[in-house]
């Protein structure tokens, strides 16, 4: 990627550590079950983390997720913030866990996503209190090919991806392609690859690029990182660009 230029950082939601939530309760963790479940000391309540899903026993990164969770919460002062729905169908408490890290508050659920050992697990984004934080965390993990997202670390030419697109779906990839044309859409901009067999494109949110000039982009080699998705057959595979860190190009 010689001569690659990365988009400058633009204005986003501040991702610095939040203050401790007022409704959070101090607790102690007696046992870490896995990457997203713990047992509390004293009450023996089982707590399932909200917004994330870590690998089950026997799956790749199960041990890593469990180890990271243990390092974050076991033997430390932990604060528990209950979700809107207090319990799941199994009777487990549904919550966010907070710890102090280097003098600031760290949201454990978010940190698991950021380290690439958890997937985003949200059914109703509008009802998820920390959805934007979680989305940014998992997207950065995908860009950096951390943990679960590290299967395809090197950039892939679009031609390689289109030889067997199913192989790459739901994986984090960096796709190199030549930009063809740009269309404005209700939900942002669609930048289509030149000569794509299946209509590969980027869905660029307006927060990332308020005004995407098609003439400027056309003909450039673009590098886009993120999860490869294909939701509607007629629309083709795409990467949703939520952060400027996901894009680069050769000048």
**pLDDT (average), residues 9-25:** 56
Looking at 5-19, 151-165, 194-208, which range is the least confident one?
Answer: 5-19
Instruction: Indicate whether 148 pLDDT > 60.
Output: yes
- Render pLDDT for 201-215 as a digit per residue (tens, 0 to 9): 999 998 888 776 667
Yes or no: say if 46 and 39 are a contact pair by the CB < 8 Å rule.
Answer: yes
Specify the DSSP class assigned to residue 246.
G
In a domain, residue 226? The reply is yes
Q: Assign residue 55 the CATH number of its domain.
A: 2.40.50.90
Question: Same domain, yes or no, for 209 and 115?
Answer: no
Instruction: Round to whole Å and give the CA distance between 131 and 116.
Output: 16
Question: Same domain, yes or no, for 155 and 235?
Answer: yes
Instruction: Indicate whether 91 pLDDT > 60.
Output: yes
Instruction: Indicate whether 228 pLDDT > 50.
Output: yes
Task: Choose, from 28, 85, 87, 92, the residue flagged as catalytic.
Answer: 92
- Render pLDDT for 188-197 as a digit per residue (tens, 0 to 9): 889 999 999 9
Last residue of a domain, one of 99, 116, 147: 147
Task: Choose, from 2, 4, 56, 76, the residue flagged as catalytic.
Answer: 56
CA distances from 138 to 52, 53, 132, 154, 233 (A): 10, 12, 10, 19, 25
In a domain, residue 2? The reply is no
Question: Same domain, yes or no, for 51 and 127?
Answer: yes
In a domain, residue 54? The reply is yes
Last residue of a domain, one of 98, 119, 147: 147
Last residue of a domain, one of 87, 120, 147: 147
Instruction: Round to whole Å and give the CA distance between 229 and 166.
Output: 10
Specify the DSSP class assigned to residue 210.
S
Q: Known catalytic residue: 205? A: no
Question: Same domain, yes or no, for 33 and 115?
Answer: yes
Yes or no: say if 98 and 79 are a contact pair by the CB < 8 Å rule.
Answer: yes
Instruction: Indicate whether 21 pLDDT > 80.
Output: no
Residue with tokens 């799941």: 88
In a domain, residue 121? The reply is yes
What's the structural domain count of the chain? 2
Instruction: State the sign of the Cα–Cα–Cα–Cα dihedral 163, 169, 174, 177.
Output: positive
Instruction: State the sign of the Cα–Cα–Cα–Cα dihedral 171, 176, 177, 181.
Output: positive
Pairing of strands 238-241, 201-204: parallel
- Count of residues in the chain: 251
Q: Known catalytic residue: 76? A: no
Mean pLDDT of the chain: 90
Instruction: Round to whole Å and give the CA distance between 36 and 111.
Output: 11
In a domain, residue 232? The reply is yes
Query: What are the beta bridge partners of residue 204?
Result: 189, 241
Question: Same domain, yes or no, for 131 and 166?
Answer: no
Q: Known catalytic residue: 114? A: no
What's the domain range around 222?
151-250
């Amino acid at each position: 990627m010689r001569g690659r230029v990365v988009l400058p950082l633009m204005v986003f939601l501040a991702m610095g550590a939040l203050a401790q939530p007022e409704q959070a309760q101090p607790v102690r963790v007696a046992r870490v079950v896995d990457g997203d479940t713990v047992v509390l000391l004293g009450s023996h309540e089982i707590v399932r983390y909200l917004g994330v899903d870590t690998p089950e026993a026997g799956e790749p990164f199960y041990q890593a997720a469990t180890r990271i969770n243990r390092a974050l919460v076991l033997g430390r002062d932990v604060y528990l913030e209950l979700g809107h729905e207090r319990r799941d169908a199994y009777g487990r408490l549904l919550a966010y866990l907070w710890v102090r890290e280097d003098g600031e508050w760290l949201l454990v659920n978010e940190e698991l996503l950021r380290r690439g050992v958890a997937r985003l697990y949200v059914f109703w984004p509008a009802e998820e209190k920390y959805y934007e934080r979680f989305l940014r965390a998992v997207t950065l993990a995908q860009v950096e090919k951390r943990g679960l997202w590290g299967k395809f670390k090197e950039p892939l030419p679009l031609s390689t991806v289109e030889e067997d697109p199913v192989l790459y779906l739901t994986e984090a990839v960096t796709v190199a392609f030549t930009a063809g044309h740009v269309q404005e859409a209700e939900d942002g901009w669609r930048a289509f690859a030149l000569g794509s067999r299946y209509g590969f494109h980027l869905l660029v949110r307006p927060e990332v690029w308020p005004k995407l000039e098609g003439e400027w982009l056309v003909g450039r080699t673009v590098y886009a990182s993120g999860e490869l998705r294909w939701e509607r057959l007629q629309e083709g595979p795409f990467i949703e660009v939520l952060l400027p860190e996901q894009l680069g190009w050769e000048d």
